[in-house]
Structure formats: C-alpha cells, structure tokens
Amino acid sequence: MANVTVTEKVIFNVAQLLKEPVGATRNHLVDADLQDLVPDTELNQGPDEPRVSLTGPLRLMHVTDGVLVQGDLSALVTMPCVRCLEPVRVPLNVAVEETFEPTIDLITGQSVRPEEEERALWIDEHHILDLQEVLRQDVLVAIPVHVVCRPDCRGLCATCGKNLNEGDCDCQSEPDPRWAALQELLEDTKDKEK
C-alpha cells in the first residue's frame, strides 16, 4: 500500500492535512506500546513487557467538521489471571471512528473552540490530534472483567499461596484455618439458637 506511515505513537500533527481539501487522507499503520492505557495492575512480569500493544491500520481524513479518524486496531493487553495472578495476554479488537474538531482556525489563527465538553476530541492549538484518551477509553471498555489464563486454571492454594497449576502443595488435605474459624462460629450460632 502506498503512502502508509508506520507510527509508534497515536499523536498526529494534522496541520498539513487540514490545509488540503476535504477528502484528503493519511494512512497510518499503528504499532504502538501504550503502557499508560490501562490501570496499573500487579503483574508478575518484567518491566519491559508491554502492558498494551496496539497494531493495525488507521486512517485520518479531512472532513468538513475536522478530522475523521477511522481505525481497526488489534490490542494485546496483559492482565493478571483472576485465579493464579499469572500474566495473561488478552487480544482485543478496538474499532475507532471519531471526528476530531479543530480548536483554532488554520487560516486566521483564531480560536474556534467547540462549545462541548468532549475535550478528548479536540485538535489542540498546535494542530495536534491526540488519540490516546479515545483509545484508552475504548480499551477499558473492551477489557473483560474476568480474565483466566486457561479454563481449568486451578488458582493459588488459599493456605500457602502456591500456584496449583505447577503441582499440588503439601497442605492440600489440611483444612483452611479460616474455614475452621467460620465453622466454629456457625456451630456457636447453632448452639445459641437451641
């Protein structure tokens, strides 16, 4: 494909695009690591591992209202398994279709700040279109709440904390002291009811 720019950031200077006639486009191929896109979660992984990587085609088009951004991105988000806390790479599809409005007139230099609250969809006074906030929200919405490393993950032993996927621990047969305490409580209650 001709005229495709590979970009590691999802921040674009659209000054030139806005000078071109309506309908002008820029094609980008996103290949970005976006650590800050998801909330910090405790992960047993190296600091160099990307928490979120985003790849895929992204098109910017000059439209009457500003710049239309369309993208069909694939995200790979690293999340802890809810049972064993091991990192799990979750593939997500992130479709983007948003129109960003300029906040300054390119010809006159005057402020044309739109009267709406959607700050994430503004092109700033330096003609910078920053897609990070939009993508962050899209990724957050797409992330599943319940991530497991595999359907039959055995999780951690409630007593010793050993990852049971790596084998049984020695305390398998012993009852969990917390359950024992609860059991006593229940028996106390029963006694009182009598």
What is the binding site for Zn ion (CB under 5 A)? Answer: 81, 83-84, 149, 153, 157, 159-160, 169, 171
Q: Is the dihedral of CA 124, 126, 127, 131 positive or negative?
A: negative
In the bound state with Zn ion, the residue whose beta carbon lies nearer, of 9 and 89, is 89
Name which of 150, 145, 25, 175 is nearest 86 in CA terms: 150
Q: In what order do the strands lie in the sheet containing 87-102?
A: 4-7, 25-33, 52-63, 66-80, 87-102, 122-123, 128-130, 11-13
Q: Least distance from C-beta 89 to Zn ion, angstroms?
A: 13
Q: Least distance from C-beta 49 to Zn ion, angstroms?
A: 17
Name which of 145, 161, 148 is nearest 39 in CA terms: 145
Helical H runs in the chain? 15-19, 132-142, 177-193
In the bound state with Zn ion, the residue whose beta carbon lies nearer, of 28 and 83, is 83
3-class DSSP state of 186: helix
Q: Least distance from C-beta 110 to Zn ion, angstroms?
A: 56
Q: Least distance from C-beta 63 to Zn ion, angstroms?
A: 46
Q: Least distance from C-beta 83 to Zn ion, angstroms?
A: 4
In the bound state with Zn ion, the residue whose beta carbon lies nearer, of 106 and 169, is 169
User: How far, in Å, CA of 73 to CA of 142, rounded?
Assistant: 12
Token readout for 191 is 């006694």
In the bound state with Zn ion, the residue whose beta carbon lies nearer, of 22 and 158, is 158
